[in-house]
Amino acid sequence: MKRESDILDMLPFGVLRLQGERITYANRMLRSLFDGGLTTLSELADRYPELEDLRRRDGAEQAPAWITINASVFCVASVRRDTAVEHYFLPSWFVSATDEGLKALQDNFDDFVEIFENCFDGIYVADGAGRTLWMNAGFERCYGLSARNFLGRDASKLEREGYLDPLITWKIITTKKRQTALQTTKSGRKVLATGIPLMAPDGTVRRVIINSRDTTELIEMQGKLTAAEQEIRNYESELREIRENAAQDGELFWASEDMQETVRLAMRVARTDAAVLISGPSGVGKRKLADLIFRYSKRSRKRLLRFGFGGLPEAAVMEELFGKEAAEAGRDEGLLARAVGGTMILERVDLMPPRVQERLSSWLRTGKSRLGREGRDLRLIATSRGDLSAMVNEGRFREDLYYRLAVAEICIPPLQDRVADIAGLAQHFLEAFNMLHGAEKYFDRAAINRLARWTWPGNVRELRTMVERMVVTGEEARISAAMVEAAFAGATNPVIPQGGMSGRVPAEEVRDRVRAFEADLLHDQVARAGSIQKAADATGISVSTIKRKLAWRKVSEAAGTKLSE
């Protein structure tokens, strides 16, 4: 025959027997629910404040009480047996099985509990005395703790044991107002906690509800964003500084988007130790950009050496770069060895002889850098008029050397593709040469318009020379379109009489007329289509080409007015 305790352990509801404060029996369901520790009612009520009501239930005729323990709802009925009191914990599903109203209520409660437990944010509930009643899995995850250790305990224990700082539970109870604080957890994470009081009819705080969200990643992202914004401001400040310094020589003036992006890229690359290859046609300012990269690099206070290929026989180049062949074996005494630790600018590398390419590639590959890596501790900045990648494909330049020189590659567009820069550069050069030669020359509108329509095969260098020629040879203070035509003719064609052109039309004038005709046609097409993209789709001409030709048209019409006033 089974014992009474065995039978009670088989029941689908809990049985708790008290002899005064002492717990004399609890069946299996309650032992599992309370996870052991069943000695006295006081100890149990400390962990589960809801059980405090059992002290007042002496087994006399009393209505059943509803309590919640570990997110489970029980209907508790009490019976006195001699000197003992037995409490029966009937699960809500057990009671509601025969009552549709209770069943609906239980379903709603179960939904609430599931929502509460699965909420990603941390949710914490305390009573008006500051005792912890409930916390969901999100709260445990946020603060790195276990609910089992804190249920029924004063909320201040969370702060005393270092799980969070500052505590807002008691501040909500005392002020009876909503409180928000950025808390630091035991693991150093940042949690944004907002709590509200739930008020009882008598004006006291009945419950405290706190919502917590881990903002560590958000704060880190905000810090990175702030740093990025500061870096952008630094870039913009340095770009303004470059613009101001450019007034001294003019080669680095820009207004076009292409040149703006080129300078931005150069500034980003300057802060690294990566090798840089600057390419572009003659006269676009490759040397100026190389100097800019060095000036804003981490090695700006260290040694800078420069060497240009072309004009020297191969043997002389080898001796200059690597030292005399008669030097002690293994000893470097050329320019490259002297530049170690600093920066070396190699100009016109597209003219580097094949044997020099082989020797340079080997020299760069051997030795150890100051960082313990393979290769020399040397920042290389190279310039080229030719397309090195095409030369590699043609077998005229070593592939391994190309990749060593072109870790970062910057291509400077020709001046004819930077129409927006022409007027500004011309004005820069004019002011510089006025100061140099003690002159007071100025461009009229037509002169600027004519300068903007020239193709500038010599790029910025040609423009600089042209402006200086007009400053030193012209008699009048005003530089007119006729003077510009004369300067062009002096460089490439016979002088065109001021009264008009006779004989055949000069080649550059034909090109200008064609460009003007194209620009006018494209302007009309864009106006009819409604946008550049639609015009490009209709004509088959690329968007970038249409923009470039319209920019030429705009500058040729407006630049003269702006700079002559």
Flag whether pLDDT at 552 surpasses 70: no
CB 322 within 8 A of CB 356: no
| Residue 32 located in a structural domain | yes
Instruction: State the Cα–Cα distance between residues 184 and 204, nearest whole angstrom.
Output: 29
> Helix (H, G, I), strand (E, B), or coil: what is residue 495?
coil
Same-domain pairing of 381 and 297: yes
Same-domain pairing of 393 and 278: yes
| Residue 224 located in a structural domain | no
User: If you compute the radius of gyration of the chain from its CA atoms, what whole number of angstroms results?
Assistant: 43
Alpha carbon 316 to its chain centroid, in Å, reads 48
Q: 392, 413, 434 — which closes off a domain?
A: 413
* Each residue's pLDDT tens digit, 408-455: 999 999 988 888 888 888 888 898 899 999 999 999 988 888 898 888
pLDDT of residue 250: 44
| Residue 534 located in a structural domain | yes
| Residue 536 located in a structural domain | yes
Residue 125: strand pairing partners:
134, 209
CB 442 within 8 A of CB 564: yes
116 pLDDT tier (thresholds 50, 70, 90): confident
Same-domain pairing of 93 and 148: no
pLDDT of residue 154: 85
Same-domain pairing of 379 and 305: yes
- Distance (Å) of CA 425 to CA 89, 417, 565: 91, 14, 16
Instruction: State the Cα–Cα distance between residues 312 and 457, nearest whole angstrom.
Output: 26
Average pLDDT, the chain: 80
Q: 369, 386, 413 — which closes off a domain?
A: 413
Residue 81's domain spans which residues? 4-101
Flag whether pLDDT at 370 surpasses 60: no
| Residue 329 located in a structural domain | yes
| Residue 495 located in a structural domain | yes
| Residue 85 located in a structural domain | yes
Same-domain pairing of 289 and 353: yes
| Residue 462 located in a structural domain | yes
Same-domain pairing of 332 and 386: yes
**Overall average pLDDT of the 150-157 stretch:** 82
Please give the model's pTM, rounded to 2 decimal places. Answer: 0.47
Flag whether pLDDT at 559 surpasses 70: no
How many domains in the chain?
4
491 pLDDT tier (thresholds 50, 70, 90): low
Name the H helices within 198-283.
216-246, 257-270
pLDDT of residue 347: 94
Task: Identify residue 563 by its one-letter amino acid code.
Answer: L
Same-domain pairing of 406 and 424: no
**Overall average pLDDT of the 255-284 stretch:** 89
Tell me the pairing of strands 442-443 and 343-347. Answer: unpaired
Only one residue has tokens 């190389």, namely 290
Same-domain pairing of 401 and 436: no
- 304-308, strands of its sheet edge to edge: 304-308, 343-347, 379-384, 276-279, 408-411
Flag whether pLDDT at 245 surpasses 60: no
Question: What CATH code is carried by the domain that includes residue 295?
Answer: 3.40.50.300
Same-domain pairing of 409 and 290: yes
Question: What CATH code is carried by the domain that includes residue 486?
Answer: 1.10.8.60
Same-domain pairing of 73 and 156: no
Same-domain pairing of 208 and 339: no
Instruction: State the Cα–Cα distance between residues 45 and 52, nearest whole angstrom.
Output: 5
Question: What CATH code is carried by the domain that includes residue 182?
Answer: 3.30.450.20
Same-domain pairing of 55 and 130: no
Instruction: State the Cα–Cα distance between residues 381 and 274, nearest whole angstrom.
Output: 9
Please give the backbone phi and psi of residue 100, each rounded to the nearest 5 degrees, phi first. -65, -35
201-228 as b/e: b if 16+ CB within 10 A: eeeebeebebbbebbeeeeeeeeeeeee
Of 78-82, 307-311, 458-462, 502-506, which gets the smallest average pLDDT? 502-506
Q: 361, 395, 413 — which closes off a domain?
A: 413
